[in-house]
């Protein structure tokens, strides 16, 4: 009888809502199955006497469980065979593609699409059974004609779509050296295509070869579908670059990472830095396609604190993450709360500053500035573009000094160097591609200049800087 009364009424009521808590339980990082999550903020103590902004950072790191084999791939290689690829370039591209086939296993699915004026589905989506046959077909590729890039990517995505499922890593790798001139060719249209592909969980990695490709288009396609973008100066590097991309694909541990950040009432969400998400009132949502083993990606949210007369008792950010284990497609969830404090004096605010978050936020802001500079330079406003680079360098220098962050020094020098190259047309052409690649890398929160060096073929140990020689020679102009 007691049970009945209690449960009848308890069916309608449970208990009270708790109001006040100053506890932060234990550590702020959780060991989830294949993804490590940790929360931090640029300022944890906020002034109660004036509005202030702080950056909330959600750090994601892939963890590969012991003794586990990699997830099977569902890959489409889309290769530009327009006239401009003739000679060494197309041969290097073919060799790189063959190298990819050799690295795949019988459980992987691959397709090869080539395009010039029209599109050829050279190898429709198939399991990697007869490698010889696939390699022979690739060898027969010849180049001539224009560049129907949009169509090539569409057909590539259609091939991946045939076998796309949770248990596979679904990816299109696009290689192009030229300007798209057949079909939709604006960065905006390619960006929109990228977003629609991301919705169906297909990412596109774009490799831009040489100096003649449209880097806006290529970076936007990659950025919006959450794939990688690499500026490949020499076609001889292609085999290496493809290998590195394959290594990343082989070591993906978590996919479809949906991050939802809910902030308490006294906060106002301003924007995401770097990536684009959806902001509704006090809830911000963003999705990352994948994180690989030992790879770190982050989401950064800028929020403003407005102290109000009727104070909410707690200031917090509630971060909820849903993701798939890439190996067995099992679903996982992680939930953490980051608590802030209200303080009355500035010393306490300063004591709560997290330098790492400040550094990352600074780089993101600096990237937004360089994008503005590129825009101005495109409009022919050389002097203004140069001024922005210089101002950016000075801003970075200020932050470097104030917070003692020597790691910002290369960016300071980089911006001064960029300012110098604005006036020189020839130098700028190459510099612009470099900048686009760097901007894309920072926006997708990976460390610049070492895009692939976290990922090693599973058999190799310890870590070897096999890629930094080629990437650093690009950076040190």
Partner 1 sequence: MRRESRETWPQKQNEHRLVYLLFEIDSGGELSWPNPALIPLTEKETAFREFYQSGNLYLAPESGEARTQGSPFQWTTWFDGPGQQWAFWTQNSDGTTTGIVVDRSAFMAEAIAQLPDSNNETNSKATAEAFTLLNETGTALYTWGTSDLDPQLASSINVSLPTPLNMWSVQLTTAATSSTVWYQQPLVLSMAASLIGLAVVTLIAAYYLYSETRREFQRAQQRVSFVNQVSHEFKTPLTNIQLYSELLDDSVETDKGNKYLGIIQEETHKLSRMIANVLTFARGQKATLKVNPRSLVPDQILKDLLETHRPGLDRKEITLQQDLNAGQEMKLDLEILDQVFSNLLSNAEKYAPRSKVTVRSRQGDGILAITVEDNGPGIERSKRQTIFEPFVRLEDKTTEGVSGTGIGLSIARDLARLHGGDLELKSTSSGASFTFRLKEPE
> Interface with partner 1 by CB under 8 A: which residues?
1-3, 5-7, 9-21, 23, 25, 113, 117-122, 145, 148, 150-151, 153-155, 157-158, 161, 164, 166, 182-184, 186, 188-190, 192-193, 195-197, 199-200, 258, 260, 278-281, 287, 313, 320, 322, 330-333, 335, 337
Return the number of other C-beta atoms located less than 10 Å from residue 431's C-beta.
Answer: 19
Compute the least distance from the CB of residue 214 to partner 1, in Å. Answer: 15
* Closer to partner 1 by Cβ: residue 105 or 181: 181
Partners of residue 254 on adjacent β-strands: 291, 325
* Closer to partner 1 by Cβ: residue 279 or 353: 279
Compute the least distance from the CB of residue 176 to partner 1, in Å. Answer: 16
* Closer to partner 1 by Cβ: residue 189 or 354: 189
Parallel/antiparallel/unpaired status of strands 29-31 and 35-41: antiparallel
* Closer to partner 1 by Cβ: residue 204 or 363: 204
CB 363 within 8 A of CB 291: no
Compute the least distance from the CB of residue 31 to partner 1, in Å. Answer: 12
Count of residues for the chain? 477
Compute the least distance from the CB of residue 299 to partner 1, in Å. Answer: 16
HSE-up of residue 365 (Cα within 13 Å, Cβ side): 18
Compute the least distance from the CB of residue 435 to partner 1, in Å. Answer: 25
What does DSSP assign to residue 179? -
Compute the least distance from the CB of residue 234 to partner 1, in Å. Answer: 30
148: nearest Cα among 171, 110, 180: 180
CB 55 within 8 A of CB 364: no
CB 275 within 8 A of CB 286: yes
- Sheet with 203-209: list strands edge to edge: 119-127, 109-115, 73-80, 169-176, 203-209, 229-232
Question: How far is the CA of 301 from the CAs of 56, 63, 151, 215, 343, in angstroms?
Answer: 5, 24, 36, 27, 22
* Closer to partner 1 by Cβ: residue 157 or 396: 157
Question: What's the rounded Cα separation, in Å, for the pair 398 and 254?
Answer: 37
Return the number of other C-beta atoms located less than 10 Å from residue 5's C-beta.
Answer: 9
Compute the least distance from the CB of residue 25 to partner 1, in Å. Answer: 5
* Closer to partner 1 by Cβ: residue 7 or 347: 7
Compute the least distance from the CB of residue 376 to partner 1, in Å. Answer: 23
User: Rounded to the nearest 10 degrees, how much is the dihedral formed by the CA atoms of 229, 233, 239, 244?
Assistant: -40
299: nearest Cα among 307, 291, 311: 291
Question: How far is the CA of 474 from the CAs of 171, 352, 367, 456, 467, in angstroms?
Answer: 26, 38, 18, 21, 11
67: left (phi over 0), alpha (psi -120 to 50) or beta: left
Compute the least distance from the CB of residue 385 to partner 1, in Å. Answer: 26
Compute the least distance from the CB of residue 333 to partner 1, in Å. Answer: 5
Helix (H, G, I), strand (E, B) or coil at 106: coil
* Closer to partner 1 by Cβ: residue 185 or 470: 185
Angle, to 10 degrees, between the axis of helix 215-225 and the axis of helix 187-199?
Answer: 20
HSE-up of residue 218 (Cα within 13 Å, Cβ side): 33
* Closer to partner 1 by Cβ: residue 164 or 352: 164
* Closer to partner 1 by Cβ: residue 18 or 309: 18
Question: How far is the CA of 129 from the CAs of 34, 126, 236, in angstroms?
Answer: 30, 8, 28
Compute the least distance from the CB of residue 226 to partner 1, in Å. Answer: 14
Compute the least distance from the CB of residue 285 to partner 1, in Å. Answer: 9
* Closer to partner 1 by Cβ: residue 259 or 419: 259
CB 125 within 8 A of CB 141: no
């Amino acid at each position: 009888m007691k049970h009945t009364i209690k449960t009848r009424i308890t069916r309608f009521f449970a208990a009270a809502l708790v109001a006040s808590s100053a506890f932060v339980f234990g550590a702020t990082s959780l060991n989830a199955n294949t993804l490590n999550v940790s929360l931090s903020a640029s300022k944890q103590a906020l002034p109660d006497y004036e509005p202030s902004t702080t950056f909330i950072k959600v750090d994601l790191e892939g963890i590969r469980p012991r003794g586990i084999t990699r997830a099977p791939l569902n890959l489409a290689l889309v290769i530009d065979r327009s006239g401009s690829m003739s000679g060494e370039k197309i041969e290097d591209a073919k060799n790189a593609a063959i190298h990819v086939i050799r690295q795949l296993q019988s459980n992987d699915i691959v397709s090869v699409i080539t395009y010039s004026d029209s599109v050829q589905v050279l190898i429709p989506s198939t399991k990697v059974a007869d490698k010889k046959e696939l390699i022979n077909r690739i060898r027969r590729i010849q180049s001539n004609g224009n560049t129907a890039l949009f169509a090539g990517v569409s057909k590539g995505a259609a091939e991946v779509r045939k076998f796309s499922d949770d248990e596979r890593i679904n990816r299109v790798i696009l290689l192009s050296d030229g300007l798209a001139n057949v079909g939709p060719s604006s960065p905006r249209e390619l960006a929109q295509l990228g977003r629609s592909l991301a919705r169906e969980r297909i990412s596109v990695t774009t490799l831009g070869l040489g100096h003649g490709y449209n880097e806006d288009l290529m970076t936007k396609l990659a950025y919006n579908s959450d794939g990688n973008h690499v500026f490949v100066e020499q076609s001889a590097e292609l085999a290496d670059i493809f290998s590195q991309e394959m290594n990343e694909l082989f070591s993906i541990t978590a996919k479809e990472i949906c991050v939802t950040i809910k902030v308490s009432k006294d906060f106002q969400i301003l924007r995401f830095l770097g990536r684009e998400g959806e902001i509704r009132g006090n809830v911000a949502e963003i999705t990352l396609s994948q994180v690989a083993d030992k790879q770190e990606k982050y989401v950064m949210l800028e929020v403003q604190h407005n102290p109000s007369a009727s104070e909410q008792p707690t200031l917090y950010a509630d971060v909820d993450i849903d993701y798939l284990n890439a190996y067995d497609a099992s679903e996982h969830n992680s939930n953490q709360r980051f608590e802030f404090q209200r303080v009355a004096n500035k010393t306490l605010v300063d004591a709560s500053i997290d330098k790492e978050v400040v550094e990352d936020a600074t780089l993101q802001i600096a990237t937004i500035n360089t994008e503005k500079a590129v825009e101005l330079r495109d409009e022919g406003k050389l002097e203004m573009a140069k001024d922005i680079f210089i101002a950016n360098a000075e801003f970075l220098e200020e932050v470097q000094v104030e917070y003692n962050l020597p790691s910002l020094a290369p960016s300071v020098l980089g911006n001064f160097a960029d300012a110098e190259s604005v006036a020189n047309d020839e130098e700028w052409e190459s510099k612009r591609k470099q900048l686009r690649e760097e901007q894309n890398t920072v926006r997708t929160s990976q460390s610049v200049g070492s895009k692939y060096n976290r990922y090693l073929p599973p058999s190799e140990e310890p870590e070897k800087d096999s890629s930094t020689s080629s990437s650093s020679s690009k950076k040190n102009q």
